[in-house]
Amino acid sequence: MNYFSSNFKLGILGGGQLGKMLLNCTRKFDIHTCILDASNEAPCKIASNEFYLGDLMDYNTVYNFGKQVDVLTIEIENVNVDALETLEKENVKVYPSSKTLRAIQNKATQKLFYVDNNLPTAPFTRFAYTSEINDAIENGGLTLPFVWKCAQFGYDGTGVKIVRTLSDLKGLPNVECIAETLVPFKNELAVIVARNASGETKTFPVVEMEFHPEANQVEYVICPARIDDDVAKKATEVALNVSKAFNHVGLLAVEMFQTESDDILINEVAPRPHNSGHQTIEASYTSQFEQHLRAILNLPLGRTDSKVGGVMVNLVGAEGYTGNVVYENIDDIMKMEGVTPHIYGKKQTRPFRKMGHVTIVNEDLSKARKVAEKVKKTIKVISK
């Protein structure tokens, strides 16, 4: 099929920043794009060929949108999977598939998938409601501490809480959830696997993620991860095994823990471009966004190694500020060597909302990490 400067239409469910960065590549290749999003202010609106306003969880909306395109992909997991399943039966190509998405959308189902496929993950208990956890603790079926995760619709640190005492359960929504053993770990790592419909597979280098202690959000992504080669090899093998088990097409970001004893445990996965791959835009031969396009269109996959060391800093809304966004000191960070800001185009900021990211590249990774710290301290995402 001719995708370039043709009648071919690529549909993307979700119009957020991941879609916006994907559209940089579709514009580069002159691929016609259609976006569906619930917000009229979605970052993707200005860069797509066709923009549709609608609820991603509504069956008819997703189905009717999908009927107009040749290939359908996602930039967010919270979409109506039943509609995707119907579209597949009617020969619309959907990547990732409804089957993959159904397994991943629900964290309890996702964890059971790892167990069923002998993939290493932390022990967990599944609950229909959070209120059942107290009984499990009293009866000795569950011991503190553990990580509480809501099964559905959690993102960017929402829907996750470390429970060390019973009082930590107060205020948590009474929803389907899992209680996961708290794993003592040295590092949080991620590997992005790309796979096209022909089965060609490539992995990006292992990255290391440094988290904000309160917001449970990634503050820095460091590539390559500062780990031993044998640990990197093990993490890559685990990621490839996960990809093989899901038999997915597109990108699969596999987040993992490196335990104190250097075992690798899967935390969770995302079947789309991911926060842990943003540095690939400046630091790699092929960005994760171009690779996602190549994979879902069954084109040859691009080279995945890095040209240079890269560190990514998330720009999130400062605490105490809600309203029309103002970015302070961007000109100051742009004076620093190797710094590229990416602003997502969200008009409204609120505490810890992802508003952009900054990539720092340097042949010397430790220098890039120092500049990243400086960037973090200099730039401020506030409101008028």
CATH classification at residue 168: 3.30.1490.20
Q: Are residues 226 and 350 in the same domain?
A: yes
Q: With 70 as the cut, is the pLDDT of residue 156 above it?
A: no
Q: What is the mean pLDDT of residues 273-293?
A: 98
Instruction: Confirm whether residue 147 is marked as ligand binding.
Output: no
Give 136-191 as a DSSP string. Answer: HHHTTSS-SSEEEEESSS--TTTTEEEESSGGGGTT---SSEEEEE---EEEEEEE
Instruction: Confirm whether residue 216 is marked as ligand binding.
Output: no
pTM above 0.75, yes or no: yes
Considering 150-164, 214-228, 340-354, the range whose residues carry the highest mean pLDDT is 340-354
What confidence tier does 1 reach under pLDDT thresholds 50, 70, 90?
A: confident
Report the number of distinct structural domains present in the chain.
Answer: 3
Cβ 248 vs Cβ 97: under 8 Å: yes
Q: With 80 as the cut, is the pLDDT of residue 303 above it?
A: yes
Here the tokens at position 12 are: 């993307």
Closest Cα partner for 267 from 246, 230, 242, 291? 242
Contacts of 209 (CB under 8 A, 6+ apart): 187, 188, 189, 190, 218, 220, 221, 222, 255, 276
Instruction: Confirm whether residue 325 is marked as ligand binding.
Output: no
Domain residues for the domain of 346 are 185-383
Instruction: Confirm whether residue 180 is marked as ligand binding.
Output: yes
Q: To the nearest whole percent, how much of the chain has pLDDT over 90?
A: 94
- Please measure the distance between the N-terminal and C-terminal CA atoms of the chain and give it in whole angstroms: 49
Here the tokens at position 255 are: 């987040």
Instruction: Confirm whether residue 384 is marked as ligand binding.
Output: no
CATH of the domain at 341: 3.30.470.20
Contacts of 248 (CB under 8 A, 6+ apart): 95, 96, 97, 100, 195, 271
Instruction: Confirm whether residue 149 is marked as ligand binding.
Output: yes
Q: Is position 102 within any domain?
A: no
Last residue of a domain, one of 155, 181, 207: 181
Structure confidence at residue 43 (pLDDT)? 95
Instruction: Confirm whether residue 346 is marked as ligand binding.
Output: no
Q: Is position 1 within any domain?
A: no
Closest Cα partner for 100 from 295, 246, 210? 246
Instruction: Confirm whether residue 203 is marked as ligand binding.
Output: no
Contacts of 263 (CB under 8 A, 6+ apart): 120
Q: Are residues 334 and 289 in the same domain?
A: yes
Q: With 80 as the cut, is the pLDDT of residue 157 above it?
A: no
Instruction: Confirm whether residue 183 is marked as ligand binding.
Output: yes
